Structure 1
Amino acid sequence: MTHVGDIAVTGLGLVTPAGIGVEENWRRVLSGRSCAAPDDTLAGMPVGISCRVPGFDAEELLPDFPAWQLERFVQLALAAARMAVRDAGWDPGRWDGTRVGVVLGNSLGGAATFEEQHDVLRERGPAKVSPLLVTRYMPNMGAGYLAIDLGVLGPSIGVATACASGATAVGTARDLLRSGTCDIVLAGASESALTRTVMSGLAKMGALSRSDAAAEHVSKPFDAERDGFVAAEGAGVLVLERTRDAAARGATVRALLAGYGTSSDSHHATAPHPGGLGIERAVRTALGDAAVAPTSVDHVNAHGTATPMNDLIEGRMLHRVLGGRAAVTSTKGVTGHALAAAGAIEAAYTVLAVQHGVMPPVANLKNPDPGLELDLVSGEPRTGRVEVALSTSLGFGGHNAALVFTAA
């Protein structure tokens, strides 16, 4: 049953290490097989594996757009957005662009171009620096180029709340629809920053797994032997509309965005609050916004980074707030951690779980952390009616966001 604040999810677009397109993504995520693999560009680095989008060809997917001008995170976002718009049944040439908005998250922008052009500056001088440096580097250009490509004349907003960016973008889009500012909003996030410098920084701070296991067995959220995440790239975009507008045009509704909550830890630059109080506030706010009792949540797609601290803190919070009924997964075991894009990608997977009544397993979960009292989905996908699902995201800087999706 809908209530006045519900927002319809009418389209999804996914370009991730799990594949290009929604169906390919869903098959891989349900398989529970990790996408992590050795990365030639990271040869000789402390961590030499990552999760990259396989077979992504910008010229093929964006043949009518000068893809060579765009940083990879923008290319991924454009491809995902076009998919989402088609999935929603919209023709951008026929909509009222003044009533359409874009909210797209990103955190590290065009890190690859910045590193490359910094080398050019040092080695060849300022006259050789590319005139595209700034527009390829700026993290807002994902949102900007989506608006240019799709004829969006309403708000075009770039969101940067680190690894919570994707979920923050979806929640911000919800607010634009509820306020009447827009009738349609494309919401999501993209990231592609698997550079030697960025990866060195993540490794140095202890965020990345140093496991010597085969790459496909390294990412293991909620496992007792987890030791960090595998970095990834990707993009996820959702098309959101008010339920009455979607019904009026006869759109297929995949699920409803019923609640959103956000908060700040005000604790530490990289570590979550040790009691999980920040993400708890976001979850409770989202559940209250959706008018859903905590014990009614059927499924959680958790942030679940596979870092020792995050999984323990988040897992204890989920049990404290929801009890033991919800079936919990982390799809980062399959996709790796796509940083800013993670929340959007996982929101899409949560929508698919609600729509199809199937919950993905946690990849590589062999020995669940004994300090957690969670009903973790492992081994095989779990089937069952999913009326209410929760997706959680946490980001450096103490950013938290939670999204509640319900069956249409």
Structure 2
Amino acid sequence: MTAPGIAVTGIGLVTAAGVGAGASWSGVCGGVSAARRDPALAGLPVDFSCTVPDFDAGRLVGRRSRLVHDRFVQLAIVAAREAVADSGLDPETWDGARVGVVIGCGLGGVATWERQHRLLLDKGPDAVSALLIPMLVPNMVAGHLAMELGATGPNLVTATACASGATAIGTALGLLRDGACDVVVTGGAEAGVSPLIVTGFAQMGALSTRTADPAAASRPFDADRDGFVIGEGSGVLVLEREADAVARGARVRARAAGYGASADAHHMTAPDPAGAGVLRALDAALAEAGVGPSDVDHVNAHGTSTPLNDVAEARVLARTVGGGAAVTSTKGVLGHTLGAAGAIEAALTVLAVETGTVPPTANLTRQDPEIDLDVVAGSPRARRVDVAVSNSFGFGGQNAVLIFTAA
């Protein structure tokens, strides 16, 4: 039996390029890095990041938000509101029991954790917020979205490190295909730019140390890359069965056609250089979508700007889609948003399919000779995109691949 087609009918984005899908898409197509020095990281060996500019939670979420929400939840609420409005669905009239929420998050409320721990040390237990636990646990992002949207169907958070957002979308596809939901609000959110988290990544040697020129630090696939730039953000998609979307006259922005997942079972943080796990996930996603490697027009690569990951991913892509696909990494502009990355990049992949535009990879001035791919650089490339791949990989060797096709 053929699996039902799944439509993407709404998109919401909050990224370092701006609040809203329009600002985010314009930013990645402009190809200029959003990285800049971060006052919250002053004095650390790595003192720059890609954070959301001018994000006023009181205005965008509500006056009480700072008392009850960590920043990762605030970002998700804004992105979800945009996505649902974009879909044309009305939470006031939908059957909430048939609406699911699946959000990816790798860290949860780490900023709240750090602030409250400091209060405990400086002022004692009475100074710690009674809302510490509900503000920091990752599952609360899905819980708050359910309350926001009146969605009483399946509700969960996926945590597969930097693949979390893509894993969430893949899980949402299963809920729709199994008939458990009619609509799923899905994606990812992360706000992990905190002194402790940044220090932890720096101690691992994972971050770029290009402190003299932060805007040039995230350079996926470039020969001079030296690590990723940490970022924050949220990406949310509204998914529903295509037949349902067409019946209500909705705009189908693209189809979510395939999902594949695997584990490297290789190393805590390093990718398998042979790429066997990535290949399994890609093959599974292509098979579910009913397309072959030669059909792929565009790949939004995981492309972290780290020496090992970029080469390992490129080897798999070179063996499969080869030079026929226009490859990009939007982390050159937005940085690495960790658990939100797979969702943000999925939304950007949908926009590439819909608009026939592949954004450039920022800061790619000298492509690594080991990377034998057609990587888009300099300016956006206009091309028809009927089949697109979005790759996401996480610490622990967890891989998630999504396929989007033209409506």
1:228 maps to 227
- Paired with 2:339 and 2:368, the residues of 1 have a C-alpha distance of 26
1:39 maps to 38
1:174 maps to 173
TM-score by length of 1: 0.98
Q: How large is the Cα RMSD of the aligned pairs?
A: 1.0
1:198 maps to 197
Contact 1:169/1:187 (<8 A) preserved = yes
Cα deviation for residue 323 of structure 1 reads: 1.8
Aligned 1:80-229 pairs, distance under 5 A: 80-229=79-228
1:325 maps to 324
Contact 1:315/1:372 (<8 A) preserved = yes
Cα deviation for residue 121 of structure 1 reads: 1.7
Whichever residue aligns with residue 384 of structure 1, its letter is: R
Deviations 1:56-101 (A, max 9, x none): 1111112376453100000000000000000000110110000000
Cα deviation for residue 38 of structure 1 reads: 0.5
Contact 1:206/1:228 (<8 A) preserved = yes
Cα deviation for residue 118 of structure 1 reads: 1.3
- Paired with 1:201 and 1:67, the residues of 2 have a C-alpha distance of 26
Contact 2:385/2:406 (<8 A) preserved = yes
Q: Which moved more, 1:98-107 or 1:109-118?
A: 109-118
1:386 maps to 385
Deviations 1:204-245 (A, max 9, x none): 001100124411111100000000000000000000000000
Whichever residue aligns with residue 123 of structure 2, its letter is: R
| Matched position secondary structure for 2:333 | helix
- Paired with 2:246 and 2:264, the residues of 1 have a C-alpha distance of 39
- Paired with 2:229 and 2:123, the residues of 1 have a C-alpha distance of 35
Whichever residue aligns with residue 99 of structure 2, its letter is: V
Contact 2:164/2:339 (<8 A) preserved = yes
Cα deviation for residue 124 of structure 1 reads: 2.0
Whichever residue aligns with residue 157 of structure 2, its letter is: G
Whichever residue aligns with residue 358 of structure 1, its letter is: T
- Paired with 1:212 and 1:232, the residues of 2 have a C-alpha distance of 15
Cα deviation for residue 129 of structure 1 reads: 1.5
Whichever residue aligns with residue 363 of structure 1, its letter is: A
| Matched position secondary structure for 2:323 | coil
- Paired with 1:196 and 1:64, the residues of 2 have a C-alpha distance of 26
Contact 1:5/1:258 (<8 A) preserved = no
| Matched position secondary structure for 2:324 | coil
Q: Which moved more, 1:356-365 or 1:320-329?
A: 320-329
Deviations 1:183-221 (A, max 9, x none): 000010000011111100000001100124411111100
2:54 maps to 55
- Paired with 2:313 and 2:178, the residues of 1 have a C-alpha distance of 32
Whichever residue aligns with residue 255 of structure 1, its letter is: A
User: Unaligned regions of 5+ residues in structure 1, if any?
Assistant: none
| Matched position secondary structure for 1:274 | coil
Whichever residue aligns with residue 145 of structure 1, its letter is: H
Whichever residue aligns with residue 267 of structure 2, its letter is: H
Q: Which moved more, 1:32-41 or 1:113-122?
A: 113-122
Aligned 1:167-316 pairs, distance under 5 A: 167-316=166-315
Matched-pair identity in %: 58
Aligned 1:64-75 pairs, distance under 5 A: 66-75=65-74
| Matched position secondary structure for 1:324 | helix
| Matched position secondary structure for 1:328 | strand
| Matched position secondary structure for 1:153 | coil
TM-score by length of 2: 0.98
- Number of residue pairs matched by the alignment: 406
Cα deviation for residue 111 of structure 1 reads: 0.7
Deviations 1:137-194 (A, max 9, x none): 1011100100011001101111100000000000000000000000000010000011
Whichever residue aligns with residue 153 of structure 2, its letter is: G
1:26 maps to 25
Whichever residue aligns with residue 41 of structure 1, its letter is: A
- Paired with 2:360 and 2:111, the residues of 1 have a C-alpha distance of 33
| Matched position secondary structure for 2:82 | helix
| Matched position secondary structure for 2:315 | helix
- Paired with 2:275 and 2:77, the residues of 1 have a C-alpha distance of 35
Cα deviation for residue 280 of structure 1 reads: 1.1
The alignment status of 1:355 with 2:328, answered yes or no, reads no
Cα deviation for residue 402 of structure 1 reads: 0.2
Contact 1:217/1:364 (<8 A) preserved = yes
Cα deviation for residue 389 of structure 1 reads: 0.3
